[in-house]
Amino acid sequence: MSDVPKSHPRYLSLTLRDAIVNGVEQGITSIHGLIAHGRGEAYDYLIGEKTQPFAKEAIRAAAAMLCSAKHPVISVNGNVAALAPNDLIELGQVLKAPLEVNIFHTESGREQKIREHLIKHGASKVLMPTTEVKLSYIDSNRKYVHPDGIYKADVVFVPLEDGDRCEALRKMDKDVVTVDLNPMSRTAKQASVTIVDNVVRALPLLCKEIKTFSDNPAAQETLAAYSNEAVLQEALQHISRCANG
């Protein structure tokens, strides 16, 4: 880690940069992941680097959707593995859902390194892509999935997703829960539930919400009344209010 003093006004943001850079150095995160992270940082600045009410609303809907799923699966890429491995593992435990590695750039054994990194942090089971089954509507490496994981899933949790695969998963009639700081990305628009927040803040809140979730009629009503489009509009309005004020 670089020696950023805790008193530095951008301490947290700089700590996350360190985590991503470490991920690249360990071969977990793709060098392209740095660009995705930079875009995320810019949007985080715009939303005030805090979990806003529109994200809290999406977290409640996400918990209801994931808890009602028959076969929820957590898709892991190199950025989220570097930023929040412990929270991903906790989410898998509270949901009793498998983690599955799924990445775009597969250079130098990165899939295997992500798996080993998660196991080192305490994951008991990490599914890997296979050539046995493929997702439709997608040409990249991300089409290769595990038959007992993403292929079979009815709800997929995919933080920091790429728009192409989100679209493919939706076309395959799967619900997608994502965490994406950019409310204008294709992923944000196409997902069933989009949590517009930094994944490092959203994951612990989502785990907490799931732990206290009780499947009562009110929870189902929350989900039925949820509009992802409205939540994205709220995020955009928040950004423009901050920009004007």
Residues lying near Mg ion in the complex (CB under 5 A): 162-163
Please, which residues have CB within 8 angstroms of residue 149's CB and are 6 or more apart in sequence? 73, 98, 100, 127
Give 188: exposed, middle or buried? Use CB within 10 Å, 0-12, 13-18, 19+.
buried
Q: According to DSSP H, which parts of 99-198 are helical?
A: 110-120, 163-171, 186-190
> Cβ closer to Mg ion: 157 or 226?
157
Residue 178 sits in the site that holds ligand ATP (CB under 6 A) = no
> Cβ closer to Mg ion: 97 or 103?
103
Helix or strand (DSSP H, E) at 157: strand 155-157
Helix or strand (DSSP H, E) at 177: strand 175-179
Report the chain's terminal Cα–Cα distance, integer Å: 36
The 193-212 site mask, x for binding ligand ATP (CB under 6 A), equals -----xx-------------
Figure out which of the listed residues 163, 170, 223, 228 binds ligand ATP, where binding follows CB under 6 A: 163
Give the 3-state secondary structure of residue 45: helix
The 32-71 site mask, x for binding ligand ATP (CB under 6 A), equals ----xx-xx--x----------------------------
Rg (CA), the chain: 17
Please, which residues have CB within 8 angstroms of residue 134's CB and are 6 or more apart in sequence? 143, 144, 145
The 65-104 site mask, x for binding ligand ATP (CB under 6 A), equals ------------------x---------------------
Q: Which of ligand ATP, Mg ion, none lies near 75, with the C-beta cut-off 5 to 8 A by kind?
A: none
Q: Which of Mg ion, ligand ATP, none lies near 187, with the C-beta cut-off 5 to 8 A by kind?
A: ligand ATP
Residues near ligand ATP (CB under 6 A):
36-37, 39-40, 43, 83, 160, 162-163, 179-182, 185-187, 198-199
